[in-house]
A and B are shown apart, each in its own frame.
Chain A
Amino acid sequence: MKMVKAEGLTYEYIKMLETDHGTEEEKVAALKAVDLEIEKGEFVVVLGHNGSGKSTFAKHINALLLPTQGTIWVEGMDTKDGELIWEIRQTAGMVFQNPDNQLVATVVEEDIAFGPENMGVAPEEIRRRVDEALATVHMEEYAKHTPSKLSGGQKQRIAIAGVLAMKPDCIVLDEPTAMLDPVGRKEVMETIERLNKDEGITIILITHYMDEAVRGDRVYVIDDGQVVMQGRPKEIFSQVERLQQYGLDVPQVTEVAHLLRKEGLNIPADILTVEEMVGTLCQFKLTT
């Protein structure tokens, strides 16, 4: 069974427009017949400029939005089945952009316990899950702290721990590092990679940062509500001009490699990291 499967996933909504003739309704399609499959244990990145539909897609995985046409299944569960909604939300947890909007309690461990408490989990089991979740995000020593006094990166890790305490199989993160400084971004990315590699949790990461996107197993590019590209990071990022056309960036080193290729140098198009760039350049036997 796939972790997430979408067939003809379409989402339309009515937008009210103020015009000279009064208010008019306009139908907007945020997602247009999206087909995709995400395997269990995969680390998938979703890219797209603002308004491309990627957040709308993310909200479908968690049944926060329901398709107006087509179907999306989470571990085989159709999100349109109202009976399954809590099971779906427990299976696929969500972490949002703003760390300040997701924490509810005044003590870190109480915040993490919020989810399992609402699920009716037994107190001893809650205790165990909270401790485990804190250990997984490397925040044990902050159990008794106040979330408001933590850094942005720490707050996001607590938000992730809160999702972990519900024992999800999949975590959807919608631009979790957009509001963080470089240290916070690094902490959160390391946590995400650990969850994927060590805990086997399926990760669906929505981001604008290309250096984060290159760390995924597979990348989907969404533009105007449709999947326009998909593949391994190397396949996607070697198409610099096409990405730029969709309003996206490539990592600085990839762009340098692209420009050097255009000048006729024999450099691979799929350079994504500093190490790869240095390795390639060393073969040119530069002046020492």
Chain B
Amino acid sequence: MSIQINHLTYIYNPDTAFEKKALDHVSLEIKKGEFIGLIGHTGSGKSTLIQHLNGIITPTKGEILLDGENIHKDKAKLREVRRRIGLAFQYPEYQLFEMTVYKDVAFGPTNMKLSPEEIHKNVVAALETVGIAKELYEKSPFDLSGGQKRRVAIAGVLAMNPEVLILDEPTAGLDPKGRDEILQAIKHLHEERGITVILVSHSMEDVAKLVDRIIVMHEGKAAMEGTPKEVFRHVKELEAMGLAAPQVSYVFAALKEKGFDVPLDVFTVEEAKSVLLDLVRQVKA
């Protein structure tokens, strides 16, 4: 399913002293199966944007088309929109509430009035996708580690079989191990289920490693768009927008400034290693 956003504008508290334009004529297209990274500093409009995609807030102006159909055209269908576009909020583990991991993940599909067999199938598939072992199914979600809790919470969204999964800062506050577990699970579900993933993140390193395309939000507008290679070479522009590029990008920017012939689109550790190695060996040879 493709998402088409046309001139989306949203104003908080219109016609009051607190009026604030959170989104300003944003037009974007997100294709089926894409892995999108959505970045921007706090207040840039990225949260407002994803809340629109899930139909939680209604645009002041503009429209959101899901497979060509305006999601707000028929209010009765909004429930269906929310099932098809799953949203895992920030700190989703705060929303865990059931006695067991299994029951928590089953909550969504149960509400969808699926048959018991289907519920079971969805729950097990979702938990497997996020890498939660069978031994944990009957545990209380509150006895799990931070990273596990968060994966259970994401499984709760996945169990409703969404076609698009939006994750709002899924690694915030986790340690490196918990973060790697979550990112691995997200990568896996994107590859295995082929669903569209929109990852909202402050971590440029995470985004650099995973996504096909980056959308940079700034002052309510989609300020930049492109592959990680295209976006992260604009270190100065990103900084001006209160963002940063992955640390290794700065090494290459500095080398370039000193007159060395290096590429500017290097941003992962592996790539940096091979590019630098080639450079040094070339000189020796």
Contact = CB atoms under 8 A, between A and B. Distances in A.
Chains A and B bind each other: yes
Interface of A: 18, 49-51, 97, 151-152, 175, 178-184, 208, 211, 247-249, 251-253, 255-256, 259-260, 263, 265, 274-275, 277-278, 281-282, 284-288
Interface stretch (B73-81, B118-126, B256-264): B256-264
Nearest to B243: A182
Given A183-B41, A252-B248, A287-B261, A178 B173 contact: yes
Contacts of B41: 181-183
11 contacts: A50-B175, A152-B42, A247-B175, A251-B247, A252-B246, A253-B248, A260-B276, A281-B255, A286-B283, A287-B261, A288-B260
B176 A252 contact: no
A182 B176 contact: no
B145 A51 contact: yes
Given A50-B145, A182-B244, A288 B280 contact: no
Given A151-B43, A281-B251, A256 B244 contact: no
Contacts of B254: 274-275, 278
B247 A253 contact: yes
A208 B175 contact: yes
Contacts of A265: 277, 280
B251 A179 contact: no
Chain B interface secondary structure, helix, strand, loop or mixed?
Answer: helix
Contacts of A151: 42-43
B178 interface: yes
B12 to A, nearest CB: 12
Contacts of B146: 50
Contacts of B280: 265, 284, 286
A263 B277 contact: yes
Interface string B128-145: 000000000000100001
B262 to A, nearest CB: 7
B89 to A, nearest CB: 14
Given A253-B247, A286-B280, A208 B42 contact: no
B261 A184 contact: no
Interface in B34-48: 41-43
Given A259-B273, A281-B276, A287-B261, 11 more contacts: A18-B140, A152-B42, A175-B173, A181-B41, A181-B242, A208-B175, A247-B176, A256-B248, A260-B273, A260-B276, A278-B255
A263 B274 CA distance: 10
B272 A256 contact: yes
Interface of B: 41-43, 140, 145-147, 172-178, 202, 204-205, 242-244, 246-248, 250-251, 254-255, 258-262, 269-270, 272-273, 276-277, 279-280, 282-283
Contacts of B262: 286
B179 to A, nearest CB: 8
Given A251-B247, A253-B248, A281-B255, A286 B269 contact: no
Chain A interface secondary structure, helix, strand, loop or mixed?
Answer: loop
B181 to A, nearest CB: 11
User: Of residues A248, A286, A287, which shows the largest number of chain B Cβ atoms within 10 Å of its Cβ?
Assistant: A286
A185 to B, nearest CB: 8
A247 B177 CA distance: 6
A286 B263 CA distance: 13
A144 B177 CA distance: 42
Given A182-B244, A274-B247, A278-B254, A259 B269 contact: yes
A181 B247 contact: no
A4 B230 CA distance: 49
A184 B247 contact: no
B176 A249 contact: yes
A175 B280 CA distance: 39
A253 B266 CA distance: 12
B73 to A, nearest CB: 35
A104 B254 CA distance: 45
Contacts of B175: 49-50, 208, 247-248
B269 A252 contact: yes
Q: Which 4 A-B pairs have the closest CB atoms?
A: A252-B247, A247-B177, A49-B175, A183-B242
B237 to A, nearest CB: 14
Contact of B172 (A179, A252, A255): A179
A286 B254 CA distance: 13
A284 B255 CA distance: 12
A139 B280 CA distance: 48
Nearest to A249: B176
A132 B158 CA distance: 51
A178 B172 contact: yes
